[in-house]
Amino acid sequence: MGHLYDCYGQLLTERQRQMVELHYFDDWSLAEIAEHFGVSRQAVHDNLRRAEEQLEAYEAVLSMAAGAAVLRRMLAAWPRVAACLPEAERDRFAGWLRELAAVLRTPWEEG
């Protein structure tokens, strides 16, 4: 859910974002969230379920989270890949990976 939220969380309503963050990232119970918002536990459950369904639907259409996971694996494999490339190609590819890591906000070190 965290990866989906990172990719598509801004597409949720403000209330859904708050509830998702409290439940998944701050580890609040449904009862705690319900009390905080002045609603029933069932309302919180329904809101979280709808948010999860929306995030999964966005991923089914756009596949951003899956694509980001593939790109992160590429970054992790860089040292093995670099060893197989000629130096000119290695430098060009390393520059591309640096840009990609910055977009993904993923730490990356050349190997």
> How big is the CA angle at 85 (ends 81 and 91), to the nearest 5 degrees?
95
Note the Cα 108 to chain centre separation in Å: 17
pLDDT exceeds cutoff 60 at 23: yes
Where exactly are the structural domains of the chain?
2-62, 66-104
What is the percentage of the chain residues whose pLDDT exceeds 90?
40
**Is the pLDDT higher at 52 or at 81?**
52
**Threshold 0.75, pTM exceeds:** no
Q: What is the mean pLDDT of residues 76-92?
A: 83
Residue 87, pLDDT score = 82
Tokens of 46: 């329904």
For the domain made up of 2-62, give the CATH fold.
Answer: Arc Repressor Mutant, subunit A (1.10.10)
Q: What is the mean pLDDT of residues 20-28?
A: 96
